[in-house]
């Protein structure tokens, strides 16, 4: 699995050349190439993912894992779902137009963030820890139909701060892109 992250747009041709050469060396011996890529919803959207040419990657990789998560991540954004359905769907829809859907795999996050909505700060929790924390805080776990994620909201005693934890819902095995 190649997990080369934060490629700059100016490295796009070099990364493509690297994959082409790797493909030429490994495929004759029957080896396959698996690559992870950041989410994109168009050739240049978002700009920071411009180092990844989905079409070229799809040509040289046998499996492409799309990291369709971290749409809300401390300290870069405020509270929100890690993998909102609309963003995941848009990402996978675009990816399937330039990469064979048989090669595509959505990256599914197995964590969420405990957000202090007063300060906007958050900390990562595994799904298990998130569930334990919700039980400990006697929080109500509910499903947000808009983002298709689970959210808990609690009122902390003392300072009255609301905290929200958003984790991905269990996605069906086959998602329509």
Annotated catalytic sites, by residue? 5
Strand 140-144 to 149-155 pairing: antiparallel
Strand-pairing partners, residue 111, are 126
Could you tell me which residues come within 8 angstroms of residue 104 by beta carbon, excluding any fewer than 6 positions away? 64, 66, 92, 95, 96
Strand 63-66 to 162-168 pairing: unpaired
For residue 92, CA distances in Å to 9, 65, 166 come to 21, 10, 21
Q: Give the CB-side neighbour count of residue 9, counting CA atoms within 13 A.
A: 8
Compute the distance between CA of residue 126 and CA of residue 105 in angstroms, rounded to an integer. Answer: 21
Q: How many other C-beta atoms are found inside a 10 Å radius of the C-beta of residue 108?
A: 15
Cis before 75 (ω within 30): yes
């Amino acid at each position: 699995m190649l997990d080369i992250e934060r490629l700059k747009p100016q490295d796009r041709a070099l990364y493509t050349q690297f994959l082409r050469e790797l493909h030429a060396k490994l495929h004759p011996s029957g080896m396959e190439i698996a690559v992870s890529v950041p989410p994109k919803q168009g050739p240049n959207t978002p700009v920071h993912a411009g180092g990844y040419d989905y079409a070229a990657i799809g040509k040289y990789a046998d499996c492409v894992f799309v990291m369709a998560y971290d749409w809300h991540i401390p300290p870069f954004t405020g509270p929100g779902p890690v993998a909102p359905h609309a963003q995941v769907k848009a990402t996978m829809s675009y990816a399937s137009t330039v990469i064979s859907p048989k090669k595509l795999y959505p990256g599914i996050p197995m964590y969420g963030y405990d957000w202090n909505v007063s300060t906007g700060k958050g900390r990562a929790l595994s799904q298990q820890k998130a569930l334990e924390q919700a039980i400990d805080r006697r929080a109500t776990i509910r499903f947000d139909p808009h983002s298709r994620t689970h959210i808990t909201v609690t009122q902390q005693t003392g300072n009255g701060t609301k905290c929200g934890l958003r984790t991905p819902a269990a996605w069906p095995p086959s998602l329509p892109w």
